[in-house]
Structure 1
Amino acid sequence: MAGEAAQPGVEPLAFARFLDSSPQPFVYGYGGRSLREMREREFGRLAGTVYLDHAGATLFPQSQLTSFTKDLMENLYGNPHSQNISSKLTYETVEQVRYRILAHFCTSPEDYTVIFTAGSTAALKLVAEAFPWVSPGPESSGSRFCYLTDSHTSVVGMRKVTTAMNVTCIPVRPEDMWLAEKQDAAAAGDPDHQPPHLFCYPAQSNFSGSRYPLSWIGEVKSGQMRPVSAPGKWYVLLDAAAYVGTSPLDLSVHQADFVPISFYKIFGFPTGLGALLVNNRTAPLLRKTYFGGGTAAAYLAGEDFYIPRESVAERFEDGTISFLDVIALKHGFDALENLTGGMECIRQHTFTLARYTYASLTALRYPNGAPVVRIYSDSEFSSPEVQGPVISFNVLDDDGNIIGYSQVDKMASLHNIHVRTGCFCNTGACQRHLGISDEMVKKHLQAGHVCGDDMDLINGQPTGSVRISFGYMSTLEDAQAFLRFIIATWLHPSLSQPLLPATPRQAGAPPAEMEAQNTMPATMDRGGLSPQEDALADPGVWNSSPTTVDAVTLCLPLLEATRTQRTPSEKTAGIPGGGLGSHVVTNLYLYPIKSCAAFEVTRWPLGNQGLLYDRSWMVVNHNGICLSQKQEPRLCLIQPIIDLQRRVMIIKAQGMEPIEVPLEENSERAQICQSKVCADRVNAYDCGEKISAWLSRFFGRPCHLIKQSSDFRRNPRRKHGKDQPACTTTTLSLVNEAQYLLINRSSVLELQRQLNRSGENGKEELFPMKDLISRFRANIITNGTRAFEEEKWDGISVGSLHFQDACAWRTSAPGNLLDFPMVWTLRAGPGCLVVLQCSWWLSLLLTLSLPASLRKKLAVRVKVPWAFGSPNLKSATIIYIPH
């Protein structure tokens, strides 16, 4: 069925055809309950969003929070360790929730105990510390701790506890368990007089969604199957955190000794609350050292005397549990039952979506027959018994080369599609599926790659993958939106034919009347510019409003030819004079408030962090989180103007009286705060209640304006390994990457030509220059003579100021368009954006002595690698990134 798409590469497999051609019945939705109405009523915040990270965290319904808050408003809940009326109400309610949890897993208090923890990780740590490990000695080989290599980091991390006790840790591959022969349980001897062993495995892989047999529980415990050959009694920990979010688990049949779970994986709320379900036959073996409040029946402060409580839960729940969050679970169970009918319905619904998406993805082919994606799975999604609603994959180009997951993630974000990338805290499965050896992991670390970063390819080898996962509120529209994104972004059947129709403006984008408000007051000198370049010099071009362009997805194969068809004389032009053609600075812009409108200048002083006051302020929400135009499109309508003589910044916006903010705040009155920019901590101060009220009134929600503290130093990050150059003494303002951004107008002009030529037979201008240029938000604009010539630049000089390219460590094989610093990618959909990687991030060389300035009409001298090498120039940083 994977190859049955009617038009491979153009549209995803029709859902009706998928259902008709399936040998087994698939269930979509929840019977008489309208999934569409449920989405609109309970998950209205998902409008315009495709959320596909339910394995990371599922979403809570509105009715759950409404019911929970109503409960809190109507009832008085006290500390359950007290004996007053409100405390007794809390205690009894918590006990009822324990019973509800056990019933959910088809068991009872006679067989299992619920121990509340701070999450499934805390539950695993509890087992590691309390399990009755036996160290090896003269009469015993000691305990064994075995875990499946396809396990979450938190499971593997248990070995640090066991290693400290000299317990042997043995990782077990999934293949070894599948191929293990059944053994005679009687041959194991008397297990009661031999050391205890623990085997941990996941019910569902959080990397690939593969599901492992629950029958292993009974087989390992009975001795019929052994992870390793060792005399003793085996206990089983079933990591069910990923599994129970979309599937029922019957503990009356599969009686694991320990079952850690995480409730936000099931309900979405509350977070930070998990539980360890302990088999009551195993509980007496657990040993505990630390004791906290509420766990003691009696103890002495002056003597080593302590008697624990008899209740297993009370013995292991140190301190006061998060009792209000526990009470919230009741409303989670109620909402889940009311909305879906139960976990079996959720299992069928989510698997149907996953199976359909899998079938559609595997059907996608390039014109040469090459697959578009590579899926990492141990099954062919044949049934929910062997596969969960999770798909882990990488996108391929038509030559079979992997496109880095970071690139896919960025493109998905432009479509407002939420995915997960990396190894998902499961290095073992990541290595196994991607073919990464232990030695390669260590080399990747030396190259600068760490878990959770965006270094997706090293020497062409992927360091992770993309993961999508479905939840009970996921819809067919979610799956098809994702599939169309893959098709529209990487599969182009024709240069001249659109894949997808144009779509309306994205919800939340500023209306058309707003777009005209953000024009620049400065006057440009157009002397010597061609008519095309003259269009670029129009101040209106630098409207930083994210205007919407109705567009289609296009491919640009001609770009490669444009960039490669250069004669040797062209490549060496200007050597040794240092340049390829003549260049002049035509425009200078700074952006005083991050993500707000540009301020054009003719001449401007430099500071230690770039253009003086460039990205020195930013707007934050009530939690201190920096707002971007993705969250608040109206930021583009905020127009800051710097008045150096009066030492104030004037801020304007439509419908608002202008307001002034001092360029420097009195340090004694300033309220110091902290925020983050691109994961970097920054010290800042609040600019006051007056501007806060002004911004809050304009945006319709609480906001503050903060300014980076003048005495705070923020250095560029070294992203590409320890051996790569970095300006450790260069300091940054609130910019994302580096001090300056430079673009070559000739390259952008060529891009516009290619885009409009590739449109509807060239009949209309799909990408007006002002909409295209405004995406860069550049500081320095030059009038380069050739498109894409900056690929050969190794450094530049603007007047007497020197910059150097430090991006020479690209190691990808040549010939692939995605391997070049210029990657032009278009997307179709609401709020059409263009992702461009042809801009230069610059850091000024450290020979700068203030005062210094930049101005228009300054000559720009460029250096190619074999001509550049002035001994007086120190290393600086230029990073190619998409804007």
Structure 2
Amino acid sequence: MDKESIQFNQLCTFENFCAIWSHYGYMNDFVDVIEQEFSRIKGITYLDHAGATLYPESLVREYYQDISRNVYGNPHSHNPSSRLTHDTVERVRYRILQHFNTTPDEYTVIFTSGSTAALKLVAESFPWRPPTAAEPASQFCYLTDNHTSVVGMRGVTSALGIVPLPVFFEEIEARAKCAAQTEGSSSQTPHLFCYPAQSNFSGRKYPLRYVKAIQAKQLYPACDSRGRWFVLLDAASFASCSPLDLQEYPADFVPISFYKIFGFPTGLGALLVRNDTAALLRKAYFGGGTAAAYLAGENYYVPTANLSDRFEDGTISFLDIIAVNHGFDALHTFTGGMDKIQLHTFGLACYTYMFLSSLCHGNGQPIAQIYSDSEFENPSKQGPILNFNLMDSHGQMIGYSQVDKLASLFNIHVRTGCFCNTGACQHFLGITNEEVKNNLQAGHVCGDNIDLVDGRATGSVRVSFGYMSTFQDCQNFLKFVVDCFVEKPVKVDRVKLDQVKLNTLSKWSSLCGLTLSVNKTPEQMENRDHSSSDSADLVVKENEGKSITKEAKSHRKDPTLTNIYIYPVKSCAAFEVTNWPVGPLGLLHDRGWMVVNGNGVCLNQKREPRLCLIHPQICLPSNTLLLQASGMDALCVSLENVDEPPKSHRVCQSKVCGDRVTTVDCGEEAASWLSDFLEQPCRLIRQSHDFIRNMKKGLEKGVMSSSLSLVNEAQYLMINRASVDLLQRNIIHRQEPTDDHCLFDTQQLVSRFRANLVISGRKPFEEDDWSHFIIGNIHFQVIGRCGRCQMIGVDQVTGTKTKEPLLSLSAYRKGKVTFGVYLVHQSLEDSNATLSVGSSIMAEMS
């Protein structure tokens, strides 16, 4: 680590944090409580609390003891166990209302499967009115910075002829005017305005005073319309770390999700409905428990008088609701209330914002573009969410997928993409409607890892804090950014520090006794010297910058095949061979088996690195698969495909890379062997011989459809030793003298990339430009580059995880982190086709 990074790490200390923010933690033993209650995240920096916060272990323990010692029956019955359920659920309803400072006289709690279901309920039961000669149509208005589930309500309203009205925040007050024709109007046409108390994208907190102002028609769009206005306040994100007082801000509808507040239970939310509004709601469907009376043979139905009973179709998830009781107990025991949570989490977010927004590369370029409408100066205006993209020293955007992959190396859990909030994503990233449509045509859909299209970001990175987050989480994240993305020496923008109204740089320096390079003014930043802008780039380039003469080029040999590896069991160790037959799915028996956990989910080295310590071998003469591992007797599995597998070898469904595949269980002996070695319930399964899985990659480019084994995307993966050599030199160049260079010799790197075919190419990464080539008498087609993730950080000899080679590969490739190419073989003319080490390769450029 260079001197500047050491200074930065000394600057980013807990003492300095406490000097600017005193509201940290809730009790003197805060750190001990966190270690005790959240021991499962030791070594993990969890920064996705806006997605789902974490539950304390005592919550689950107390909940388990509760349901273990009590008998809870269906609340629709009247026996003692049912009455216990009913009374407990009613107690939880009361605690929820108490939490939001209201009472059953003012609000009703309707339990749902989550906040999305609560929003759907409002959309389907709100009394939308189509236009008539005497009355205007209802309006469905929503802030553009709303979650997808709010915007999706227009699917219901549009079907009823209600035209949705999206509103930008800037319009609400700027266009506020009370039109004369609305004054004194007796129209009762119902309109609905929806806005989030807190943006799940940027963490911006929208004014809660808008609730009464919209209801009173003092703000746009309500002031322009005749009729009665109702307000839906989406509190799912806000309520996780902030107090909401419904006495002061009496929204008509308030959807919430409990896993965002407590972490457990999931799949449970609620809609809080103001009782004054409840009489307007209409409901077509009725299920068990919602009817006071109905007839099966006649269209006769009378709903129950109780609002929650009327809208909770069927039996509620009463055991999950009982867990909410223990969630409130844990929350108050550990924190003392939402006011303290708000201050604690805001302090962490503010401190992270201060450093991230002021960090610069050695040439003065800022490292981050932060998407925020505030300077994090006030917890009433900003929640504990920080949204950003990172940039390199040339000002080019670094794709969020690359950041996510590198964060995983450091056990840092973040969220990437658009976070189900396209409106905010478009606003902050400057993405036009046409670009959204063009990105879809380019293959980008919500939730994928296509982070850049034509060099422009399609999404961003979000870190968010929860009540159990610690300063160490902040520090780990900031160190990660400095170590992986900042071109040294680290610089700090003093102007930015002043803008966020924290401490001046001189105070920071005096606290630490250190100095940092500083850009003092914007003018100085504009006039900075760009001559050293490439100083921290990878200096080891192809051929190390030496020119190659035509004579030298003419003496280069054709590429040859140097190694053949098959991986009989997916994610287990490689089996190296010198000659091997090619089958219809690729190398014979390559990825024919895989290991699944007790729930039938495929295990890979990202989930279970010790898989690489299992060494499979294929013995063709005896037609067996042999599994070996240290401390274990060898296990022999037959290669025979049996049309009718024995009962112990059941047929099952599994998923590989999103594809559903039909597999056959290999029996109890194999399951026991794997379970003993991996110390968790496991089973060995193989692909059913009569199941055909077609390749999807490359089809849009006219690649011939091919059948696959249990591989992820293609029949073969090929890498080039010249590319490996270059990467190995770059790793050594990036390492400090104290690091162990021998860990990254060429052969060790070759094993990290788990290729089937290894070639000795003329130059690094020439394979990226190949379209077709021939090895022996087998024709191959290149269908794309292999995107790399943190799995290449698993040492294939020991099973330990390292940050290299992904760090150096990411720095070199800049953009999509790829290494190696995917291949398919074209039609096999010889049914006995074989690949042999030493074969020459004839390549065709694309």
Does 1:280 find its partner at 2:261? Answer: no
CA contact (8 A) 1:237 1:259 kept: yes
Measure the CA separation in 2 of the matches of 1:291 and 1:445: 39
Equivalent residue runs for 1:809-848 within 5 Å: 831-835=802-806, 836=809, 837-846=818-827
TM-score normalised by L of structure 2:
0.88
Deviations 1:528-547 (A, max 9, x none): xxxxxxxxxxxxxxxxxxxx
The verdict on how the C-alpha distance between 1:558 and 1:788 changes in structure 2, with shifts beyond 3 A counting, is farther
Please tell me the residue identity of whatever aligns with 1:673: C
| TM-score of the aligned structures, taking structure 1 as reference length | 0.84
Query: In structure 2, which of residues 218, 222, 231 is the aligned counterpart of residue 224 of structure 1?
Result: 218
- Quick check: 2:582–2:833 contact (8 Å CA) kept in 1? yes
Report matched runs for 1:43-82 at 5 Å: 43-82=38-77
Q: Which runs of structure 2 are paired with 1:442-591 in the superposition (5 Å)? A: 442-493=437-488, 557-560=538-541, 562=543, 569=550, 581-591=557-567
Q: How far is 1:774 from its partner?
A: 1.8
Q: Tell me which residue corresponds to 2:667.
A: 688
Deviation at 1:85, TM superposition (A): 0.8
Pairwise CA RMSD: 2.8
Q: In the alignment, what sits opposite 1:29?
A: 25
Aligned to 2:741: 765
Q: Say yes or no: does 1:440 pair with 2:435.
A: yes
- 1:732-751 aligned within 5 A: 732-751=708-727
Query: Structure 1 vs Structure 2: percent identity of aligned residues?
Result: 51
Partners of 1:234 and 1:585 in 2: CA distance: 73
Q: Deviations over 1:807-855 (max 9, x none)?
A: 49x9xxxxxxxxx999999999963331243322222224555231111
* C-alpha displacement of 1:112: 0.2
Equivalences for residues 5-154 of structure 1 within 5 A: 13-20=12-19, 22=20, 25-32=21-28, 34-154=29-149
Whole-angstrom CA distance in 1 between matches of 2:552 and 2:121: 65
Aligned counterpart for 2:694 among listed residues 684, 703, 715: 715
- The C-alpha deviation readout for 1:682-714, integer Å capped at 9, x for no partner, is 221111111101111112211001111222222
The answer to which structure has the higher helix fraction is: 2
Q: Does 1:340 align with 2:335?
A: yes
C-alpha distance in structure 2 between counterparts of 1:161 and 1:104, whole Å: 31
Match of 2:752 in 1: 775
> Residue 88 of structure 1 aligns to a residue in which SS?
helix
Deviations 1:713-747 (A, max 9, x none): 2233348xx8x415351122222222112122222
- Cα distance change, pair 465–590 in 1 and its aligned pair in 2 (3 A): same
Asked whether the 8 Å contact 1:420–1:466 carries over to 2, the reply is yes
Give the equivalent residue in structure 1 for 2:511: none
Q: Does 2:258 match 1:259?
A: no
State the shift of 1:758 in Å: 4.1
1:637 aligns with 2:613: yes
Q: 1:567 to 1:768 in 2, by over 3 A?
A: closer
1:377 partnered with 2:372:
yes
Q: What is the CA deviation profile of residues 481-532 of structure 1, one whole-angstrom value per residue up to 9, with x for unaligned ones?
A: 111111111113169xxxxxxxxxxxxxxxxxxxxxxxxxxxxxxxxxxxxx
Q: Does 1:317 align with 2:312?
A: yes
Moved more, 72-81 or 691-700: 691-700
Provide the rounded CA distance (Å) in 2 between the counterparts of 1:237 and 1:616.
Answer: 53
User: What is the letter of the counterpart of residue 777 of structure 2?
Assistant: S
Corresponding residue for 2:523?
none
Deviations 1:755-792 (A, max 9, x none): 32443459963533243222111111122243344344
Aligned match of 1:675? 654
Which of 143, 164, 167 is 1:172 aligned to? 167
Return the offset for 1:71.
Answer: 0.5
Residue 589 of structure 2 is aligned to residue 608 of structure 1: no
Please, which of 390, 399, 417 is the counterpart of residue 394 of structure 2?
399
CA distance, structure 1, for counterparts of residue 429 and residue 318 of structure 2: 43
Q: 2: CA distance between counterparts of 1:823 and 1:726? A: 30
Aligned-partner residue type, residue 831 of structure 1: T
Does residue 661 (structure 1) correspond to residue 660 (structure 2)? The answer is no
Q: Say yes or no: does 1:860 pair with 2:841.
A: yes
- Unaligned 5+ runs, structure 1: 496-553, 575-579, 811-819, 866-883
Residue 517 of structure 1 corresponds to none
Query: Which residue does 1:850 correspond to in 2?
Result: 831
Q: Would you say the 8 A contact 1:9–1:366 is kept in 2? A: no
Instruction: Give the counterpart of 2:191 among 189, 197, 202.
Output: 197
Q: Name the count of aligned residue pairs.
A: 780
Residues 1:293 and 1:407: Cα distance change in structure 2 (over 3 Å): same
Tell me how far 1:679 sits from its aligned partner: 2.0
Q: Provide Cα deviations, 1:284-308, integer angstroms capped at 9, x if missing partner.
A: 0001111110011111111111111
Q: Which residue number corresponds to residue 815 of structure 1?
A: none
* Residue identity matched to 1:632: E
- 1:222-251 per-position Cα deviation (integer Å, ceiling 9, x unaligned): 111122522111100000001101111110
* Alpha carbons 1:488, 1:827 under 8 Å: kept: no
Distance 1:803 1:644, change over 3 A: same
Is 1:211 aligned to residue 213 of structure 2? no
Three-state SS of the structure 1 residue aligned to 2:701 is coil
Deviation at 1:398, TM superposition (A): 0.9
1:234-284, Cα deviation, whole Å (9 max, x unpaired): 100000001101111110110000000011111111111110000000000
Query: Hey, what's the Cα distance between the residues in 2 that align with 1:9 and 1:717?
Result: 47
2:425 equivalent to 1:426: no
Q: CA distance change for structure 1 residues 806 and 659 in 2, over 3 Å: closer, same or farther?
A: closer
Rate the CA distance shift 1:761–1:634 in 2: closer, same or farther, 3 A. Answer: closer
Letter in 2 for 1:714: R
- 1:651 pairs, out of 627, 644, 655, with 627
Distance (whole Å) between structure 1 residues aligned to residue 90 and residue 31 of structure 2: 36
CA shift in 2, pair 1:263/1:760, >3 Å: closer
Q: Distance in 1 between matches of 2:18 and 2:794?
A: 30
Partner of 2:529: none
Give the AA of the match of 1:173.
F
The aligned counterpart of 1:796 is 773
Distance in 1, matches of 2:451 and 2:571, equals: 27
What is the rounded CA distance, in whole Å, between the counterparts of 1:262 and 1:136 in structure 2?
Answer: 35
Deviation of 1:348 after TM superposition, in Å, equals 0.7
Give the corresponding residue for 1:725: 701
Q: Which residue of 1 aligns with 2:509?
A: none
Q: Which amino acid aligns with 1:428?
A: G
Question: Is the contact between residue 606 and residue 852 of structure 1 (CA under 8 Å) also seen in structure 2?
Answer: yes
Residue-by-residue CA offset, 1:315-368 (whole Å, 9 max, x unaligned): 111100000000110001001111111111111111111001101101210111
Change (3 A) 1:372 1:823: farther
